[in-house]
Amino acid sequence: MSEGISESEQLEIDKPEVKKRLESVGIEFDPTKRAATFMQVDQETAKVSSFMEGVEIMSIRDALEKYDWVKDYFWKVVRRDQDAFTREADSEDVNGYFIRSLPGHKVEIPVEACLYLRKAKSRQKVHNIIIAEENSELNIISGCTSHPGVSSGMHIGISEFFVKKNAKLTFSMIHSWESDIEVRPRSAALIEENGVFISNYVLMNPVKLVQMYPTAYIGDNGTAIFSSIIVALENSVVDSGSRAVLKGENSSAEIISRTISKGGDIIARGHIIGEAPEVKGHLECRGLMLSENGKIHAIPELEAKYPNVDLSHEAAIGKIAEEEIFYLQSRGLTKDEATAAIIRGFLELDIKGIPEVLKKEIDRAISLVESDLL
């Protein structure tokens, strides 16, 4: 289904160079491999399709018209006055997606959503609502990218996640932008009793600025897992992190990041707050410097507001050791092959709880990043 854009614009989306760009952020053109699909071009909905029972998908504009109760989820976990960018997104022309798994349904095949910046110097404003209803399971791949040749602009994305009792939501976001684009996601998740929220983030290619700090509020026996792979190329600035607020008894959180500076600046943040008894949290940040330019600044924070909590963190920044390269060369690899092997080993994460098809998408993103670094 197409709406809101002209036929000529739709045909342009189907061009090979555009398809290649979409595939680089995990967008799949075979409907048998997706439960549903959504695409937004600038401010307009370009495509909405659902291929499975148990999942609803539509533009946020349509969802607000269809369901009166959707407005109760708007600005529930992200404050509209949080900063200048949330205030800008609080406008009449905002669009975005509404994705919901129905109670008791296990939607294991990924739902895909693409936010596409087509016009140069434009400001894309998005507000997404994602709901995993009680006893349901939902997997989403969100690919965000810009049109070939569109090197400037801004993406402002508000995303609010709601994981109901005994539900599981896996959200994997893959970014591929251009050298003068600014990206300002503002996201938060509310996780109810026994809920599981898994957030994966992969950033590839140059970007002027990414600034994001998603927060999860976790109820009794709930779990939040954040995993990120970030590469900052020359002249890129990435200020990224995750925050977990352990509000319920026996709740847990894990924040793991892998960052590489190839001349860009990275601020890798992590913050776990224990506000209830018997909570557990671990934060791990590892950085790899591949250039004399750029920097990595790791900021791990642990905060306890209750006596019997178990919170830990570890952070490390370094470079590729010459002895590792020499060892691999002695085993028959060239220097470039040895470097690539070390980078891949560093970037690969044991990302928990995601389906095999999603792992393949993230592996593909790593391969593209790896080839750009060498």
Note the pLDDT tens digit of each residue in 291-321.
899 999 999 999 999 999 999 999 999 888 8
Question: 3-state SS of the chain: helix, strand, coil percent to 5?
Answer: 20, 50, 30
Q: 316 or 365: whose pLDDT is higher?
A: 316
Distance of CA 177 to the CA centre of its chain: 14
Cα of first residue to Cα of last residue in the chain, in angstroms, is: 41
Q: How sure is the predictor about 271, in pLDDT bands with cuts at 50, 70 and 90?
A: very high
CA atoms of 293 and 219, how far apart (whole Å): 42
Averaged confidence pLDDT in the chain: 89
Bridge pairing between strands 280-289 and 295-304: unpaired
CA atoms of 14 and 77, how far apart (whole Å): 36
- Give the percent of the chain with pLDDT over 90: 68
Mean pLDDT to the nearest integer, 13-23 = 78
User: Residue 6: pLDDT above 50?
Assistant: no
pLDDT of res. 1: 38
Range with the poorest average pLDDT among 13-17, 122-126, 143-147, 216-220? 13-17
CA atoms of 268 and 286, how far apart (whole Å): 9
CA atoms of 217 and 214, how far apart (whole Å): 10
- pLDDT tens-place string over residues 154-183: 999 999 999 999 999 999 998 989 889 999
Identify which of 92, 79, 170, 195 has the alpha carbon closest to the alpha carbon of residue 352.
170
Mean pLDDT to the nearest integer, 329-336 = 87
pLDDT of res. 5: 47
CA atoms of 182 and 211, how far apart (whole Å): 8
pLDDT of res. 11: 42
Torsion, Cα 194 277 301 321, to 10 degrees, reads: -70
Mean pLDDT to the nearest integer, 58-73 = 97
Which distant-in-sequence residues (6+ apart) come within 8 Å of 132 by Cβ? 100, 101, 138, 162, 163, 164, 167, 168, 169, 195
Mean pLDDT to the nearest integer, 186-209 = 94
CA atoms of 205 and 21, how far apart (whole Å): 11
For the chain, the structural domain boundaries read 7-320, 321-374
Identify which of 40, 48, 45 has the alpha carbon closest to the alpha carbon of residue 22.
40
pLDDT of res. 206: 86
CA atoms of 132 and 34, how far apart (whole Å): 17
Phi and psi (nearest 5°) for 73?
A: -95, -10
pLDDT of res. 345: 79
* pTM for this predicted structure: 0.91
Residue 191's identity, in one-letter code, is: I
